[in-house]
């Protein structure tokens, strides 16, 4: 099985007012294709920092980062942007949709930065909207949608560029329990269809759904275990084929 992402001895330090904060102290991790990983740990343990490194939003202070088969430790800013546009899907706690764009336009944003939005790409965006159950809301603005619906749009957006993996930082942090269940169901389905998923969460119920739980403490991995209680969803919705 090839790996979607791997990090070797990655450290991240921040210097604030002359004091060095060690956000990550040598993390080594491999995430194979199709995995469903939950990253957990107390506040300030470096979960978001790790996620940002995997998402190419940030560069490690030391160590290596490989996505797919590309070494990205020394990649330039523009190359990282290209990787984000074509190979990474982000889902955020606060949805992070662009308010003045419609649902469809929001879904298309990553494609926009890959090049012109042509017919097949537009088709793909429509399929993703359909997949998350918002095919009839294409022209709506984010402000006209509920939190759960907005998060669905964000998930559609994260899928549209057919990424190596989806990075989700507290994706259900702003949602009520019913909606959380719906979103987790959707994410579980995506994983069923083969999508690699990495979720950062505080909530044990969310972690329970993953196949693997990585616990961080003070910038280091303190445990990395397969999750026996993981139960994939009974019914699975059809996913569109990868283009």
Partner 1 sequence: MPFLWFRTWHLGVKSLLLHPLRSLLTVLGIFIGVASVVWLLAIGEGISRKAQQQIEELGATNIIIRSIKPPEESIENVGSSHSIVPYGVTRADFERLAATIPTIDRALPIREVRYRFGYLGRNIEGRLVGCTPEYADVNKLEVDRGRFLTDTDDREKWNHCALASEVAERLFPYEDPIGKAVRIERAFYLVVGVMKERTPSAGIGGSLAAQEFNDDVYIPIHTLWSRIGDIIVTRRTGSFEGEMIELSQVTLRVDKTENVLRTAALVKETLKPHHRKQDYAVVVPLELLEQARTTRLMFIVFMGLIAAISLVVGGIGIMNIMLATVTERTREIGIRRALGAKRGDIIRQFLVETIALSVMGGLTGILGGLTCRPLIAALRNLLLRAAPDVFDQLPQVIKEVTPLIVPWSVPLAFSISVTIGVIFGLYPAIRAAMMDPIEALRHE
Ligand X SMILES: Nc1ncnc2c1ncn2[C@@H]1O[C@H](COP(=O)(O)OP(=O)(O)OP(=O)(O)O)[C@@H](O)[C@H]1O
**Contact positions toward ligand X, by CB under 6 A?**
14, 16, 21, 23, 41, 43-49
Mark the segment that binds partner 1 (CB under 8 A) among 35-43, 88-96, 136-144, 195-203: 88-96
Q: Report how far apart, in Å, the C-alpha atoms of 99 and of each of 69, 93, 155, 172 are.
A: 36, 16, 16, 20
* Residue 187 contacts residue 168 (beta carbons within 8 Å): yes
Query: Which residue, 105 or 181, is less far from partner 1 as judged by CB?
Result: 105
The option from ligand X, Mg ion, partner 1, none interacting with 46 (CB < 5 to 8 A, set by class) reads ligand X
> Rounded distance, CA 121 to CA 115, Å?
10
The option from Mg ion, partner 1, ligand X, none interacting with 151 (CB < 5 to 8 A, set by class) reads none
Mark the segment that binds partner 1 (CB under 8 A) among 16-24, 83-91, 190-198, 218-226: 83-91
Total residues interacting with partner 1, rule: CB under 8 A? 27
Site for partner 1 contains 113 (CB under 8 A): yes
Site for partner 1 contains 55 (CB under 8 A): yes
Cα radius of gyration rounded to whole Å, the chain? 18
Q: Which two tokens stand for residue 40?
A: 């957990």
Query: Which residue, 51 or 156, is less far from ligand X as judged by CB?
Result: 51
* Residue 206 contacts residue 181 (beta carbons within 8 Å): no
> Rounded distance, CA 144 to CA 122, Å?
22
């Amino acid at each position: 099985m090839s790996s979607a992402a791997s990090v070797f001895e990655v450290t991240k330090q921040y210097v604030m007012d002359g004091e060095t904060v060690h956000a990550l102290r040598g993390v080594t991790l491999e995430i194979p294709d199709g995995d469903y990983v939950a990253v957990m740990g107390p506040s300030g343990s470096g979960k978001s920092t790790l996620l940002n490194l995997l998402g190419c939003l940030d560069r490690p202070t030391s160590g290596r980062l490989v996505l797919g088969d590309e070494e990205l430790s020394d990649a330039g800013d523009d190359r990282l942007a290209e990787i984000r546009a074509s190979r990474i899907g982000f889902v955020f706690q606060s949805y992070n949709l662009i308010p003045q764009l419609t649902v469809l336009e929001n879904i298309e944003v990553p494609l926009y930065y890959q090049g012109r939005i042509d017919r097949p790409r537009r088709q793909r965006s429509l399929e993703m909207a359909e997949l998350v159950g918002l095919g009839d809301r294409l022209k709506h603005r984010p402000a006209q949608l509920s939190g759960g619906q907005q998060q669905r749009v964000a998930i559609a957006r994260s899928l549209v560029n057919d990424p190596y993996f989806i990075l989700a930082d507290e994706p259900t942090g702003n949602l009520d329990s019913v909606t959380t269940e719906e979103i987790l169901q959707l994410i579980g389905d995506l994983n069923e269809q083969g999508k690699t998923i990495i979720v950062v969460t505080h909530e044990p119920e969310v972690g329970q759904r993953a196949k693997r739980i990585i616990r961080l403490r003070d910038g280091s991995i303190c445990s990395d275990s397969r999750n026996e209680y993981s139960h994939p969803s009974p019914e699975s919705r059809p996913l569109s084929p990868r283009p």
